[in-house]
Structure 1
């Protein structure tokens, strides 16, 4: 049995797509309770990746807030891993104030991370960002807006460097300027900082191969027959070969080949349950395309992997069985592609 990479759950699915125009938010304590209670063959989650978003966390709470969070997570015998910076208070493109706010949110996230690193409750992970901008807005001036995104990301990288942190761009079709795999690579190359990389989520990256929001970058053929697994494997290999060298954070996930949005969240990759019969991915096999290089050797590029259950319904999320099934799938991935 492998013991690396460590296995984490995400807490932000209790927030993303929830709220007044959708279902009620699920509290941080409830997310931690269900994570800590999950167990398969004596194996439990090692930690959680945190979204530093209200009401789970007040980014303005400083060291007192960071200490309270550390104490809470530790009380469930869990570690803290990657962090989602609340950059949607601003934007990586747009007016100067929005871009300044974006960078400030990264700084405050890094300050919290520094406390958790010092106290030892956080020993792995990155700070996750995206462009905090819609695809439609980006498309009004692709060249100019991408230039602004690059400059904002460079500023954010320079701030994160002071704290020893790496930033990971979330690969998701709903974020302008990074809504296709080729755009992501263009942005990463233009940012040209050693402390930035890519966060791959298997649910979102499947949509990259299908060309949602960027049909010119589609890899799978139009009207693809999902029964022909060899075509999908080839497309995923093209995608992972291009993005794997940049990948510094990884989410195991399932997707049924459709897009989905709830509440105020734009449509994006649909996160399916681990055992969803409509899932298009062979989760364990396809995870290996990210965790191993082109020659099949382990990359060991990150010390933990995470499951992101964004926009699961509250009914699904409140069932302990859901989290046991997710943990079981993560264990299978680690047994197939992990190490001791």
Structure 2
């Protein structure tokens, strides 16, 4: 059996879309238990990717607190991978003060990442960012706002480089300057730093095909029918050819072709359960468009891949079968597009 890429679960779905205006946050320790307890034919998750978000994790934690975090995760026989920087108190295209806050959050996240690397519990991973701005606000001045985002991302990249970290911009349709595959490429190219890249999520990036929030950039024709698998395949090839060279981090996910939001989270590509009958993706097959190059050769670019299931109801997330189904899907992806070391 292949043992790479390592299989990770995400912790931020216990927070994103939760809260007073939705369902209660799922405690961090509970998510670690669900992850560690999942098992399919003797295979378990190898690690977790962390959202550095209250109430799970305090971005102001001391180095001693980071060590305690590492010990806690290691106690479940899990590694730590990619980190989500809590940049939303700022904005990459906001005022000078907002952009300063944005970069400072990246600095604090990179510090945590480096300490975790030095402790030996984080062998791979990036720090995830977004523009922390809406497509509506970005559309007021696309060229000017893209320049501002790129400037902020450059400053953040320079900070990250001091810690030996790379940043990955999340391909999600709810972020201004990142809401389509073309705007995402324009933003990344404008940053002009070696340690910037793209975070591909099979659910979020799927909506790029349909032009949500940027109709002029849709890839599939306006009269596309879901039964046309050939057209869908060609669309995925077009999308991944453009963004794969930039991709530093990869999320396995399912999508039913719709958008969804809960709590304070804007509508974005709906994360479906791994075995949702309404899912439009052939997950093990379609992951290959990201994990293999255009000639079909493995890129081996990602030492780990992660499942992202944001905004699932708590009844779903607290059901152990959910995590076994996810793990089974992740194993299928690795068996088709992984390798052994």
Mark yes or no: TM-score above 0.5: yes
Preserved CA contact (<8 Å) 1:57 1:65 = no
**Aligned equivalents of 2:54 and 2:229: distance in 1?**
41
**Aligned equivalents of 1:136 and 1:186: distance in 2?**
17
Q: Report what 2:108 is aligned to.
A: 108
- What does 1:220-231 correspond to in 2, within 5 Å? 220-231=220-231
State the Cα distance separating 1:318 from its structure 2 match.
0.4
Is the aligned partner of 1:201 residue 2:201?
A: yes
**Aligned equivalents of 2:80 and 2:101: distance in 1?**
25
Q: Report what 1:185 is aligned to.
A: 185
Unaligned runs of 5+ in 1: none
SS in 2 for 1:248: strand
Is the aligned partner of 1:6 residue 2:6?
A: yes
State the Cα distance separating 1:65 from its structure 2 match.
2.4
**Aligned equivalents of 1:140 and 1:92: distance in 2?**
15
Q: Report what 1:60 is aligned to.
A: 60
**Aligned equivalents of 2:222 and 2:64: distance in 1?**
53
**Aligned equivalents of 2:116 and 2:172: distance in 1?**
28
**Aligned equivalents of 2:177 and 2:83: distance in 1?**
22
SS in 2 for 1:200: strand
1:120-146 per-position Cα deviation (integer Å, ceiling 9, x unaligned): 000000000000111111111211111
Q: Report what 1:119 is aligned to.
A: 119
State the Cα distance separating 1:89 from its structure 2 match.
1.5
Q: Report what 1:76 is aligned to.
A: 76
**Aligned equivalents of 1:18 and 1:65: distance in 2?**
25
Q: Report what 1:32 is aligned to.
A: 32
Is the aligned partner of 1:129 residue 2:129?
A: yes
Q: Report what 1:50 is aligned to.
A: 50
**Aligned equivalents of 2:223 and 2:73: distance in 1?**
46
Is the aligned partner of 1:165 residue 2:165?
A: yes
- What does 1:221-300 correspond to in 2, within 5 Å? 221-300=221-300
User: TM-score if structure 1 supplies the norm length?
Assistant: 0.99
**Aligned equivalents of 1:145 and 1:196: distance in 2?**
18
Q: Report what 1:327 is aligned to.
A: 327
SS in 2 for 1:203: coil
State the Cα distance separating 1:66 from its structure 2 match.
1.1
Unaligned runs of 5+ in 2: none
Segments of 4+ moved more than 2 angstroms: none
Q: Which moved more, 1:65-74 or 1:251-260?
A: 65-74
**Aligned equivalents of 2:41 and 2:171: distance in 1?**
33
Is the aligned partner of 1:154 residue 2:154?
A: yes
State the Cα distance separating 1:166 from its structure 2 match.
0.5
**Aligned equivalents of 1:177 and 1:21: distance in 2?**
27
State the Cα distance separating 1:178 from its structure 2 match.
0.7
- What does 1:133-148 correspond to in 2, within 5 Å? 133-148=133-148
State the Cα distance separating 1:296 from its structure 2 match.
0.2
State the Cα distance separating 1:157 from its structure 2 match.
0.2
Aligned length: 340
User: TM-score if structure 2 supplies the norm length?
Assistant: 0.99
Preserved CA contact (<8 Å) 1:86 1:105 = yes
Q: Could you say what the CA RMSD is over the residues aligned between the two structures, in angstroms?
A: 0.6
